[in-house]
Amino acid sequence: MRKIINSPERVVEEMMEGYISAYGRYYKKHPKVNGVILKDHRKDKVALVIGGGSGHEPMFSGFVGKGLADAAACGNIFASPDPNTVYETAKAVSQGKGVIFVYGCYAGDNLNFDMGEEFLNDEGIQTTHVRVWDDVASAPKDRIEDRRGIAGDVFVIKTAGAACDAGLSLEEVTRITEKARDNTRTVGVATAPAQLPGIDKPIFELPEGEIEYGMGLHGERGVLRTTWQDADVLVEKMYGQIMEDADLKAGDEVCVLINGLGSATITELAIAFRKVKQLLTRDGIKVHDTDLNSYCTSQEMGGFSITLFKLDEELKKYYDMPCYCPFYAKGELTEAIITDNGESSEKMDDEPEFDETDTEAAQIVRSKEGVLTELNAADARNMLLYIADKIIAKKPYLTEIDSAIGDGDHGIGMAGGMQKAKRKLLSMEAEENAYAVFEAAGNAMLLSMGGASGVIFGSLYLAGAKGMEPKAVITAEDIAGMQRKSLLAIQERGKAQTGDKTMVDALLPAVEAMERTCGEGLLKMLFAAEEAAEQGVEATKKYQAKFGRAKSLMERAIGYQDAGATSVWLIIQGMREFVEDKLN
């Protein structure tokens, strides 16, 4: 087999040079050893260092990035990095908060990383490590520490990077990373051998018409050599072995990785996932997220692996945090869409944008008569239900406004989003965290509305509540703070400023009014915000549009109010009406 190389002795050196050159905006190479270091890596936190042999690209160097590893110590092809490489790479990114190492459980890696840790400990740098042992085919469960680390590295590294970025202590990062490792199971098969650069023969022989079941990443012998089988037969056997080993049952939630070993195509990986999904559905197990890609490879080895990563709420939180490197990314929008507190996005996709038969107003219950001075979770839920019905009733009005200078879909989009939010809220009678009510409603809107409005108006509820410590009761100050967070998130995503003829023209002055008056009580704050939002809507009539379909109209958009700003005003008006006990 001919490989695109120069000298076999310089493969890793030249690969590293090309890799750093290609992605120099993100990475730099350690000046002394083969360590890939993230430029501007995060400060004042636990450092995550990963590593292992080269030849498995993009693992490990390709998983250095924001929300992932701070550095990777890279060895020669299929060989562990030496202790000095481990030591120098980790020392370069240590921030005084400790270093956690994540790597596959192989004898060479274990010995070399242990020695590198000793060097760091001698200098007073605290370290810990998590060895990934997800390969269920490589040892029985009672010898789990003898198992190999294969494609499960992806989920463990993702979780560890998020935990580090969350500012947790070394002890807590280690606990969460071990939990991720212990909830990850993988099995793989090889359909064709790999060949190392500069070696004349493949690393193992595989006769035509046979497959190696339970194959390791370095050509290690599998547990069984068998005849060629159709994809569904093979996948069912692999899935069955994972299920025998994993603590998975109906009602559980998993992430799935179908990982190509080097030469498998996306077509093949998708066919494999098709069967995995059927089996998971049969067993009542929900899929939270799926990846079909070649992340953990063995040169051009044929075949694939299946990895199931069992989630709980804690692991889901860290999995859904955004991250980025050139080969792997999880974004904030993805996070919002796929964490709808158990609501199935597939189900929502099958529903109409707006169901004309589902317009009956919800029964609104307030915690007391008269003016409310604060909102408990039940009040927050009922307030958002009231706003949802208000927006649904205003669908023709919003459609008319949007039709003047847009495409007329704002009314149906807002009504459809509020309809989905309403359905979610109706299922949350027992919720005791007021912030969770806003977050759930925002997620439901994101899932259903589509277009820019889904992101923006979903964020109006979601962004301000997300990540807040649970609270049974929220005050005027809490609401003002929440809306400021939402405003900042919306502006970050959409880049709009006042004067651009968008919802920001109503939201920004409303938030500023909330901040000025929140100390004077909830109702007075909402009156001030409503007035400011209404003035913002009126001001949009003077502006040309900088975003959306109306921007092409230029000066012809002047004289018409913005539909998004109008929706903001109506939402704040609904908040005020609920708090004042003047439901309309």
Note the pLDDT tens digit of each residue in 37-65: 999 877 889 999 999 999 999 999 999 99
The secondary structure element, H or E, covering residue 571 is helix 563-580
Q: Convert the pLDDT of each residue in 136-145 to its tens digit.
A: 998 899 999 9
Q: What percent of the chain has pLDDT over 70?
A: 92
| Cα 215 from Cα 218, distance rounded (Å) | 8
pLDDT of residue 357: 73
pLDDT of residue 201: 83
pLDDT at 350 over 70: no
| Cα 58 from Cα 223, distance rounded (Å) | 26
- The pLDDT-based confidence of 195 (bands split at 50, 70, 90) is confident
pLDDT at 343 over 50: no
407 against 148, higher pLDDT: 148
pLDDT at 221 over 70: no
Q: Which residues of 220-244 are buried (b: 16+ CB within 10 A; e: fewer)?
A: bebeeeeeeeeeeebbbebbebbbe
Instruction: Provide mean pLDDT across the span 224-240.
Output: 90
Catalytic residues: 218
| Cα 579 from Cα 375, distance rounded (Å) | 8
Beta bridge mates, 306: 187, 258
113 Cβ contact partners less than 8 Å away, ≥ 6 residues apart: 51, 80, 83, 86, 101, 103, 129
Instruction: Provide mean pLDDT across the span 511-540.
Output: 96
Instruction: Provide mean pLDDT across the span 177-188.
Output: 97
pLDDT of residue 574: 95
Q: Convert the pLDDT of each residue in 403-426 to its tens digit.
A: 888 767 788 889 888 999 999 999
Of the candidate ranges 202-206, 306-310, 437-441, the one whose mean pLDDT is the lowest: 202-206
pLDDT at 151 over 60: yes
What secondary structure does DSSP assign to 401-451, as a single string? HHHHHS-S-HHHHHHHHHHHHHHHHHT-TT---HHHHHHHHHHHHHHHH-H
pLDDT of residue 261: 94
102 against 551, higher pLDDT: 102
580 Cβ contact partners less than 8 Å away, ≥ 6 residues apart: 371, 523, 526
Angle, helices 410-426/395-405, rounded to nearest 10 degrees: 150
pLDDT of residue 553: 65
The DSSP 8-state label assigned to residue 455 in this structure reads H
pLDDT of residue 144: 95
Q: Convert the pLDDT of each residue in 367-408 to its tens digit.
A: 999 999 999 999 999 999 999 999 999 999 998 998 888 767
pLDDT at 20 over 60: yes
Instruction: Provide mean pLDDT across the span 194-210.
Output: 81
pLDDT of residue 333: 35
3-state class percentages of the chain: helix first, strand second, coil last, to nearest 5: 50, 15, 35
- The pLDDT-based confidence of 257 (bands split at 50, 70, 90) is very high
Instruction: Provide mean pLDDT across the span 17-30.
Output: 94
Residue 434: HSE in the Cβ half-sphere, 13 Å Cα cutoff: 19
The DSSP 8-state label assigned to residue 135 in this structure reads B
Residue 470 phi, psi (nearest 5): -55, 140
Selection from 257, 448, 253 nearest residue 341 by Cα:
253
Domains of the chain: residue spans and CATH: 8-330 (3.40.50.10440), 345-580 (1.25.40.340)
Burial class of residue 349 in the structure, from the number of CB atoms within 10 Å of its CB (0-12 exposed, 13-18 middle, 19+ buried): exposed
Of the candidate ranges 17-31, 190-204, 446-460, the one whose mean pLDDT is the lowest: 446-460
Q: Convert the pLDDT of each residue in 125-136 to its tens digit.
A: 999 999 999 999
pLDDT at 447 over 70: no
* Mean of per-residue pLDDT scores for the chain: 89
pTM of the model: 0.60
